[in-house]
Amino acid sequence: MRRYEALCETLIALFAHGVYWGYPDSAAVFVQALERVANPPGGPAGYNVWINLRLYPALLLVYAAGIAAARKHDEAGYAVLLRLLSGVRIHDESVPLMRQLWPASIVHEDMARQCLLPDRRTPVSDHLFDVMRHTSTALIPDDVRYEEAFLRWEYLLALNSARIAGPIPLGQFVWREVSRGPYIIRDTDAEIERSPKWPPLAAGFFDGDINALHAARELVARAIQGRL
């Protein structure tokens, strides 16, 4: 994992800045790059732990894009992110990227506790938080703003996964919500209630349908209650 992180460092920065400063019509190059990274050579034979880890670089790039979009928090950034999440195919399958690429599918949480961060409720999410902090300093120098962007992205990831009927990844945003904050779920839900033009919705997430967004919120809330 450390080697993958080092090899991807420049590409991670390019994805973050491309999403933050880019527009939907410039997303094609990032879609092509992510599709190439998400389809590494080699067959399915071998141990699952190593096969799954081959998609770790793609996960890093998705997180870089998601955090950048969440920090920018406007329609243009989320539109580029949506192109990445919806336009990439893995192994020639017309399945949404995040149905196949989510943290626990790359590194199982039990293994992550053994090898990365013992005694953590969300070891993979916590590890990604540390890794992406190192690579996003130039774009988000303030620690508080970075933390907010990371948690906002993980909540959006959970909502989007619920929308596409995929596994709902419950990252560290859940535990922050019930402990010390930042209270991303509360603040995001309040923002949605205040304005029907919530930036991800305006960008096309949930097909622009506020009712679909509310349904996804309910599914995520149920998943959180089942986890607590």
For the stretch 113-130, pLDDT in tens is: 677 756 767 888 888 999
The more confidently predicted of residues 195 and 207 is 207
Mean pLDDT over all residues of the chain?
86
Distances (CA, A) of 59 to 4, 192, 205: 11, 27, 19
- Considering the chain, what percentage of its residues have pLDDT values greater than 90? 50
Q: What is the mean pLDDT of residues 148-154?
A: 96
- Distance of alpha carbon 189 from alpha carbon 73, whole angstroms: 15
Phi, psi for residue 172 in degrees, rounded to 5: -70, -10
* pLDDT tens digits for range 65-107: 999 999 999 999 999 999 988 878 776 665 667 677 777 777 7
Determine the pLDDT at residue 17: 93
Q: In the chain, how many domains are there? A: 1
Q: Which domain holds residue 203?
A: 2-227
Q: Which amino acid is at 73?
A: H
pLDDT at 188: 93
Average pLDDT of span 132-154: 92
pLDDT at 94: 59
Kindly state the average pLDDT of the residues 28-54. 81
C-alpha–C-alpha distance, residues 132 and 146, integer Å: 9
Q: Give me the pLDDT at residue 45, please.
A: 63
What is the rounded average pLDDT of the residues 180-207? Answer: 90
Q: Is pLDDT at 213 greater than 90 in this prediction?
A: yes
pLDDT at 112: 65
Name the pTM for this structure. 0.91
Alpha helical stretches, state H, the chain: 2-21, 28-37, 48-53, 56-72, 75-87, 97-100, 103-106, 109-115, 123-135, 143-163, 173-177, 184-194, 199-203, 210-227
